[in-house]
Amino acid sequence: MESAQIADDLTNTLLTEGQIKDRLAQMARAIERDYDGQDVLLVGVLKGAVMVMADLARSLDRHVEMDWMAISSYGHGTTSSGVVRILKDLDTDISGRHVLVVEDIIDTGLTLSWLIANLRSRGPASVEICALLRKPDAVRMSVDVRYVGFDIPNEFVVGYGLDYGERYRNLRDVATLAPHVYT
């Protein structure tokens, strides 16, 4: 697909690559302060978190480990159901570890509240969340998020890891999807 055609699918740019990079750098400084002297395991949630993980991890001026989970919400579409199954579990035993979950977006909060409960049951030293985006108006299950990049309106957004039908993840910016694409 050519870029002019991709541009036709988007209504406006919500966050530019530069704004995301700057905000992730600020969040990285906070994480460095908060975890000073502690080992941190970053847990990325596939697939959306790939870009955030790659840029956040490289912003951190310290050792971190990275691991990944793939989970699937039933009732797929543009909203999640909160019923989750694990497609790929962690390779790491997290008991006694400081776990920082890295997410692209918290929408209803259903996925993360399930995930946090699941991770807590494994006996980690701590579990916290770092999410680039959060939609306060979409929340159905409140989740305690330690690091939030941006609160955004309850619109369908794509790019920087976020997809619609597996497309648009590779856009550098976060943009709103034009209604003609999903109606």
- Interaction site with ligand PRP (CB under 6 A): 45-48, 73, 80, 103-112, 163
Q: Which of 55, 104, 107, 173 is catalytic?
A: 107
In the complex, minimum distance from the CB of residue 22 to ligand PRP, in angstroms, rounded to a whole number: 22
SS3 category, 182: helix
In the complex, minimum distance from the CB of residue 79 to ligand PRP, in angstroms, rounded to a whole number: 6
Return the amino acid letter for 113: S
* Residue whose CB is less far from ligand PRP, 77 or 179: 77
Distance in angstroms (rounded) separating the CA atoms of residues 166 and 142: 27
Q: Taking a C-beta distance cutoff of 8 angstroms, is the pair 31, 98 a contact? A: no
Q: Would residue 107 show up in a list of annotated catalytic residues for this protein?
A: yes
Length of the chain: 183
SS3 category, 174: strand
> Residue 7 to residues 84, 102, 148, 183: CA-CA distances in angstroms?
33, 28, 27, 17
* Residue whose CB is less far from ligand PRP, 68 or 97: 68
In the complex, minimum distance from the CB of residue 149 to ligand PRP, in angstroms, rounded to a whole number: 13
* Residue whose CB is less far from ligand PRP, 80 or 116: 80
Q: Catalytic residue numbers?
A: 107
